Amino acid sequence: MNIDKLSQRLQSVAGYIPEGSSIADIGSDHAYLPCHVVKKGRVPFAIAGEVVEGPFQSAKKQVESEELTNQIDVRKGDGLAVLSPGEVDCITIAGMGGALIASILEQGLDKLEGVTRLILQPNLSAQSIRVWLIDHEWQLIAEEILEEDGKIYEILVAEKGEPHRPYNQEKIHSELLMGPFLSSKKTEPFVKKWKSEMKNWMRILSKLEQAADTEDNRQKKEELQNKLRMVEEVLD
């Protein structure tokens, strides 16, 4: 992967960035995404944020080698701490767990002033993000699921608006788990992901059946059985 040819995952994230917007890419690693959209002329200004020294230095070198230092500011800091309120229109966070992404957004609430779009690509637990978006009145406007190199990724796009709008309230629990847009399309990567999850849950359930009959184990079994029911209903 390089800035001219992004991975399919990052290419999809880039596709949701509004043309002409200023962006912050949090956890930017080598700054491939901001370099790509700035070099293509889609974005006039970008911030690449990194908390770890190694990736921070890699991002700086990448930006310098592409001669984009006037348009991309590489900053070291934790999450949205690298931003000032009103500095960017769009935030991208890709390649982390959903719970971590939600935590980054929560801790940086004051930095979301002026931000009109969030593009979030969790590696797991997208449900944590969907719950956070509803709680903070961000409306999910698009979802995508794709498979690349044997791994399945979800992309969630949100704007300030009506947080409950994309959800069917009768199916809210399954749609928070699996995604309101993704559940309606049931693409091949979607079906593959949830069949794999079901196998994993059944394996855990089997072990719990053989374990001691404690309150904690009973609760875990009930949660897994509920999830299995929800996924079966969507996949049927």
pLDDT at 114: 94
Enter the pTM of the model.
0.94
Same domain for 12 and 118, yes or no, is yes
CB half-sphere exposure, 29, CA atoms < 13 A: 11
Same domain for 35 and 72, yes or no, is yes
| Residue linked to tokens 């070198």 | 61
Same domain for 162 and 126, yes or no, is yes
Instruction: Name 219's Cβ contacts closer than 8 Å, sequence gap at least 6.
Output: none
Say which amino acid occupies 108: G
Strands 151-160, 117-124: pairing kind? antiparallel
For residues 115 and 88, the answer to whether their CB atoms sit within 8 Å is yes
| Residue linked to tokens 């309120």 | 85
Residue 175 falls within a domain, yes or no? Answer: no
Same domain for 151 and 196, yes or no, is no
**Spatial separation of the C-alpha atoms in residues 193 and 204, rounded to whole Å:** 17
- Sequential pLDDT tens for the chain (236 residues): 667 789 999 999 999 999 999 999 999 989 999 999 999 999 999 999 999 999 999 999 999 999 999 999 999 999 999 999 999 999 999 999 999 999 999 999 999 999 999 999 999 999 999 999 999 999 999 999 999 999 999 999 999 999 999 999 999 999 999 999 999 999 999 999 999 999 999 999 999 988 888 888 889 999 999 999 999 999 98
Give just the sign of the alpha carbon dihedral 12, 15, 18, 24. positive
| Residue linked to tokens 């797991």 | 124
Domain hosting 95: range is 8-166
Domain count, the chain: 2
For residues 4 and 27, the answer to whether their CB atoms sit within 8 Å is no
Same domain for 70 and 123, yes or no, is yes
Same domain for 83 and 135, yes or no, is yes
